[in-house]
Amino acid sequence: MFRGKWKFLLGIILLVMIVIAVYVFFLYQQGGTEYYNPPVKKIDDPKMQILSDMTVLSQTVEAYYAKNMRYPDKLEQLKPEFIDKIPLETGTEKSFIYESDGLDCYRITVSQPSRYGFKELFIENGKIIQK
Amino acid sequence: MKMEKSYKNKGIRLLFYFLLISIGLIFPVASFAETPNLTARTLENEIMNILGKNIQCKKIVVQIRLSQEKPNEIKTLAVKFENAVIGDLVADYITILYEKPVIDFNQLKKAKKFKIISSSEGKVGILISAKAIERYIAGRVKKLKNKQARVSIRFSPPYAEYFFDIPVSEIPPKTLKLLNKYVKGKRLEGYTALQMKAKDNSLFALSSKVIVNHFLIPGAIRQELQNMFNPFYRIPVLSPLRYSINNVNVQNNYLFLTN
């Protein structure tokens, strides 16, 4: 009777120890310098993706203003100082429509807003307008 | 007699009208003289000189655009500071944009003080480079007893990556208690990927990954560390300007803070 119980208890302790050892090994294995990189974020929803890309672009345009006291004439001027790659519209891979008077007004528009479930979708001077 | 009287009355009336007209003519000229003659360039220089005395920076640029409809009204006022000292940090660029600002001209002329009474909208943009943050950390390291600490930063939008190698002796006891299991030798070496948040001029770091001495730190400990350190920096407001930082995002070369 007792032997059976002891065996069971030892089995459990062994199992817990194995689980802990595997977990510690996992933590150790994930801590190498090859893992010195940020987690990759993926957005599956095209609607969320387009909103995220537009927000990033708008923030980058605002950062350009903070340095130059004027908005860029075209998005390419943001490269490479403020952004590595200008995002394209998800799905269509078209460029965002960018308009600016250079001084105090800019607008980033999506060419086909209906594709993402909007009648209108644009960012004007940092404010997102979605209808 | 009647004729004479009416002539006298007419004369008095004429004099009265003349007085009224002249008062009407003189007063607008006097009040115009009270409001400053808005020459954008002179006003820009005046503001620049006043701000230069109050704010420690390498260069100040002031840009005033007057309203086309009302030439005496300012449409936008933008002020840019290069290498401006904000607390212990030096921001590469700080740009503040006021729309339709009302400037206190009395203070500006008499007391040589820059004060904005009101504005319809305002924008603030602060750019801080990785190098500026590293310089700030280097300054902190100089104050340590053991100066063998190495920290470097890389911006990988939307994350800020920190690489560190710090002597255990310089780690606060509370932090050390949390990381006790992961301390093997005399040093704490590792990596962290952070996302930033800002609220009411305070900066918060949200860690998405922490590696210490070859160990990936579990989420619960990461959370405790996060609570311990946040907010990690309070952004001082450059006096006499007023703004509140509530937004931050990591860009290729800069940390970009906005209102």
In tens, the pLDDT along B61-100 reads 999 888 888 777 888 889 999 999 988 889 999 999 988 8
Average pLDDT over residues B218-227: 89
- Could A66 and B94 be called an inter-chain contact, meaning their C-beta atoms sit closer than 8 Å? yes
User: Residues A71, A92: one domain?
Assistant: yes
- Could A36 and B161 be called an inter-chain contact, meaning their C-beta atoms sit closer than 8 Å? yes
SS (H, E, C) A3-71: HHHHHHHHHHHHHHHHHHHHHHHHHHHCCCHHHCCCCCCCCCCHHHHHHHHHHHHHHHHHHHHHHHCCC
Q: Is the C-alpha dihedral spanning B89, B90, B92, B94 positive or negative? A: positive
Asked which of B29-33, B103-107, B205-209, B230-234 is least confident by mean pLDDT, the reply is B29-33
The answer, yes or no, to whether residue B29 has pLDDT greater than 50, is: no
User: Residues A45, A94: one domain?
Assistant: yes
Distance (Å, whole) CA B108 – CA B103: 8
What CATH number has the domain bearing residue A102? 3.30.700
Model pTM score = 0.80
Taking every pair of Cα atoms in chain B, the longest distance, rounded to a whole number of angstroms, is 121
- Give the one of A33, A66, A81 whose C-beta lies nearest to B95's C-beta: A66
Q: Is-cis flag, bond preceding A80, omega within 30? A: yes
User: Residues A75, A102: one domain?
Assistant: yes
Residue A6 inside a domain? The answer is: yes
Query: What's chain A's Rg over C-alpha atoms?
Result: 26
Residue A36 inside a domain? The answer is: no
Question: Residue B72: which of B39, B110, B30 has the closest Cα?
Answer: B39
pLDDT, one tens digit per residue, over B157-189 is: 889 999 988 888 888 888 888 888 888 788 888
User: Residues A76, A26: one domain?
Assistant: no
Q: Given pLDDT bands bounded at 50, 70 and 90, which one contains residue A69?
A: very high
User: Residues A88, A25: one domain?
Assistant: no
Domains held by chain A: number: 2
Q: Give the N- to C-terminal CA distance of chain A in Å, as an integer.
A: 73
The answer, yes or no, to whether residue B30 has pLDDT greater than 60, is: no
Could you tell me the residue range of the domain that residue A25 belongs to?
1-30
Residue A35 inside a domain? The answer is: no
Asked which of B1-15, B51-65, B236-250 is least confident by mean pLDDT, the reply is B1-15
User: Residues A19, A72: one domain?
Assistant: no
Q: How many CB atoms lie within 10 A of CB B29?
A: 8
Residue A83 inside a domain? The answer is: yes
Average pLDDT over all residues of chain B = 81
pLDDT, one tens digit per residue, over B100-148 is: 888 888 877 777 888 888 777 788 999 999 899 888 888 877 777 666 7
H/E element, A131:
none
The alpha carbon of residue B117 is apart from the nearest alpha carbon of chain A, in Å, by: 22
User: Residues A61, A121: one domain?
Assistant: yes
Q: What is the pLDDT of residue B37?
A: 54
User: Residues A59, A116: one domain?
Assistant: yes
Return the domain boundaries, chain B: 2-32, 36-127, 131-238+246-254
Question: Residue B114: which of B101, B100, B99 has the closest Cα?
Answer: B101
User: Residues A57, A19: one domain?
Assistant: no
Question: Residue A119: which of A130, A107, A127, A128 has the closest Cα?
Answer: A130
Q: Contacts of residue B156 in chain A, CB cutoff 8 Å?
A: 37-38
